[in-house]
Amino acid sequence: MGHYLPDRVVTNFDLEKVMDTSDQWIKERTGISERRFFDPEKDTVANMAARASNLALKQSGIDIKDILVVGAEIQSSALEMNDRGRSVSVIFADGAGALILQATDDSDNQGILSTHLHADGRFAEELYVRDPGSSRKERLTKEMIDDVGIRAHMNGNVVFKHAVVKFQEVIHEALEANQLKIDDIDLLIPHQANLRINQFVQKQLGLGDDQVFNNIMHCGNTTAASIPIAMCEAWDEGRLKPDDLLCIAAFGSGFTWASALIKF
Ligand SMILES: CC(C)(COP(=O)(O)OP(=O)(O)OC[C@H]1O[C@@H](n2cnc3c(N)ncnc32)[C@H](O)[C@@H]1OP(=O)(O)O)[C@@H](O)C(=O)NCCC(=O)NCCS
């Protein structure tokens, strides 16, 4: 595994300077203290992904030709860094994580035991970027820009309420598919969308603090990069170990939600 976080640290206090928010509000509602934003002089999604991938390749000792899964995101440039955008822009951040996967002959006892993926498009517009759109006569107009259609729109309350339910459902689904129970999970790494969501899910499932890993406090929500980055950090900190049963679970726009059980 390998991950890359841009050098530029953006604290809640930095956000206080550009929008009507506070360190206390952000910490209480999301658990985030700081996050990383890309440096336009240095970082692109592709080269952030490449940096994470090179670390993973170096650790695994395998050749670039053999497999690679990468999540890399620059969200910060899509955020509206002012009062109007504050409920969205305090959450999202940039980063990249990469994993090497390979086949195993011992698939009953090792590797990805199962994956479970769902979507419900009825909620597509609760968390989305509306513009530009290829199905319109004009892809991008001044009105779309002024009307913030080019920015991420998020109905935070609706996302929160669905996330706490779907996380639990999809984790139970994974356990049942493998005749396992909650106590069998050595580590749950949930998507880092909001610490309060993860803490609520942890409590509902009856998991101990040692069974759940969060890093949103210093990474923010890096969307598709969040689980690979968290897996890397959990490994580096000794929280994820060989032979552990790892559960990863995510909820996001679409709405989409998913889980996987991995014998590490
Ligand atoms: C976004 C989120 C933190 C907002 O928290 P919330 O408790 O639902 O807050 P609300 O949206 O109800 O807003 C409460 C108040 O805080 C204000 N507020 C919103 N953003 C603010 C900010 N950054 N700083 C200060 N105040 C803010 C609102 O304007 C509102 O004020 P009002 O009571 O005067 O109307 C929360 O809904 C959330 O995290 N949802 C899930 C989002 C998520 O997981 N997204 C990613 C999925 S991949």
- Which of residues 75 and 145 earns the better pLDDT score? 75
- C-alpha separations of 202 from 82, 122, 156, 256, 257 in Å: 33, 27, 20, 20, 17
Asked whether the whole model's pTM tops 0.85, one would answer yes
Ligand 1, CB within 6 Å, residue ranges? 21, 25, 29-30, 86-87, 90-91, 154, 156-157, 159-160, 163, 193-194, 197, 221, 252
CA–CA separation, 156 and 87 (whole Å): 8
Distance 1 CA to ligand 1 centre (A): 33
- CATH 3.40.47.10 residue ranges for the chain: 2-99, 111-263
For residue range 210-256, what is the model confidence (pLDDT) as tens digits? Answer: 999 999 999 999 999 999 999 999 999 999 999 999 999 999 999 99
Average pLDDT over every residue of 124-144: 90
Nearest CA to ligand 1 atom 25: 21
Residue of 29, 127, 157 to test ligand 1 pocket, by largest number of atoms within 8 Å of CB: 29
CATH class for the region spanning 111-263: alpha beta
Domain 2-99 has CATH 3.40.47.10: yes
Q: Which atom, in ligand 1's list, is nearest to the CA of 250?
A: 48
Residue 64: its pLDDT value, please? 87
Q: Which residues contact 96 (CB under 8 A, 6 or more apart)?
A: 3, 4, 45, 48, 49, 51, 52, 70, 71, 72, 73, 225, 228, 229
Whether the per-residue pLDDT at 203 is higher than 90: the answer is yes
CA–CA separation, 139 and 45 (whole Å): 23
Nearest CA to ligand 1 atom 37: 156
**SS3 of residue 92 by DSSP:** strand
Nearest CA to ligand 1 atom 31: 87
Helices (H) and strands (E) in the chain, counts: 9, 11
Whether the per-residue pLDDT at 145 is higher than 90: the answer is no
Residue 262: its pLDDT value, please? 96
pLDDT classification of 137: cutoffs 50, 70, 90:
confident
For residue range 20-71, what is the model confidence (pLDDT) as tens digits? Answer: 999 999 999 999 999 999 999 999 999 999 999 999 999 999 988 889 999 9
pLDDT classification of 178: cutoffs 50, 70, 90:
very high
pLDDT classification of 106: cutoffs 50, 70, 90:
confident
Joined tokens for residue 18: 């550009």
